[in-house]
Amino acid sequence: MPSPTESPFTWSVAPTLKVLALRTPTLPPATATNAVLAGHAPWVVDPATPHAAERDRLVDALEALRDSGEGPRGIVLTHHHADHIGAAAYLSERLGLEIWAHARTAELIADTLTVSHTLADGDDLDGWRVLHTPGHASGHIVLFDEVRGFMVGGDMLASVGTIVVDPPDGHMATYLASLARLRELGPKVIVPAHGAPIDRPVALIDHYVAHRLQREARVASALGPEPRPLDLITRAAYPELAPVLLPLAARSALAHLEKLWEEGRAAPHEAPVDTQGRRPTVSPQLLWRAA
Ligand SMILES: [Zn+2]
């Protein structure tokens, strides 16, 4: 929806949901990560840009809010990926804001960032419900305003580019279950980390799930009785992709193979099992066959 020309925001969904799309190195075709301002005295979700001019845009917007008596409450990280956290330390220092994230995210970024407050599923941040939605990242959270139906969605969906599910931290069955949970809540608007606010999120979730299952069917049909390597399976399942994109597609194909294995529909050749008898992490080196 259009913003007044004097607004510093890229999108203003509502007074409690504003977005600054800030240029950030991320996965093409996306070129920006949204810094989302959630709430009147807002939580700043996913400040990520490493660029000084872009950081200034965010700081200016937040200082203007502070001047009007609605200064930011803190920084919330949806997950640990580099294109979501790159300005958190800077912003924390510059504006004296503390960083909040899921405990798993805190653990994954402990070497580079100090998370002051860990968040868990069900926590309430001034009316924003915290939902733990693993699958794309094990510590992924979204924020949900149950009254207005607004959701800050991180990398659960995108309106530019695709969501990569990259094992072992990414897990396809878990990602699909998290999407199903979001769908059940019937959000009216989801602001993703990349691209414009999504105003028909349930339809987009359905599209995502259908697309994933279609891809999974292609991965399954690329399997035969003979063990096959991941790159062959990937090329069969993603025939339309330019060769340069195949390594990324291979990560998703591996995530689908892991799910098919869990469902008894695929089997790795010579699957290694650890001493506790638990299933090991899937590896790109494994050969796969139909089960
Ligand atoms: Zn991500």
pLDDT in tens, 57-106: 999 999 999 999 999 999 999 999 999 999 999 999 999 999 999 999 99
CA 73 → CA 8, 44, 98, 117, distances in Å? Answer: 19, 8, 8, 12
CA of 227 to the centre of ligand 1 (A): 31
Tell me, yes or no, whether 6 lies in a domain.
no
Q: Of all residues in the chain, what percent carry a pLDDT higher than 70?
A: 95
- Measure 155 CA to ligand 1 centroid, in angstroms: 5
Q: Is residue 124 part of a domain?
A: yes
232 and 191 within one domain: no
Burial of residue 210 (CB within 10 Å: 0-12, 13-18, 19+) is exposed
Using the mean position of ligand 1's atoms as its centre, give its distance from the Cα of residue 274 in Å: 29
- All residues with CB under 5 Å from ion ligand 1: 81, 155
Q: Does residue 5 lie in a domain region? A: no
Q: How does the average pLDDT of the chain come out, rounded?
A: 93
Instruction: Indicate whether 37 and 177 sit together in one domain.
Output: yes
d(CA 40, CA 232): 51
**Range 183-189, long-range pairs (CB < 8 A, 24+ positions):** 185/131, 185/144, 185/146, 185/151, 186/149, 187/144, 187/149, 187/150, 187/151, 188/148, 188/149, 188/150, 189/13, 189/17, 189/149, 189/150, 189/151
For the segment 128-142, what is each residue's pLDDT rounded down to a tens digit?
999 999 999 999 999
* Dist. CA 137 → ligand 1 center (Å): 7
The rounded Å distance from CA 15 to ligand 1 centre is 26
Residue range(s) defining the domain that contains residue 83: 11-199
Residues 41 and 184 in one domain: yes
Count of domains observed in the chain: 2
Whether 153 and 263 share a structural domain: no
Give strand pairing partners of 85: none
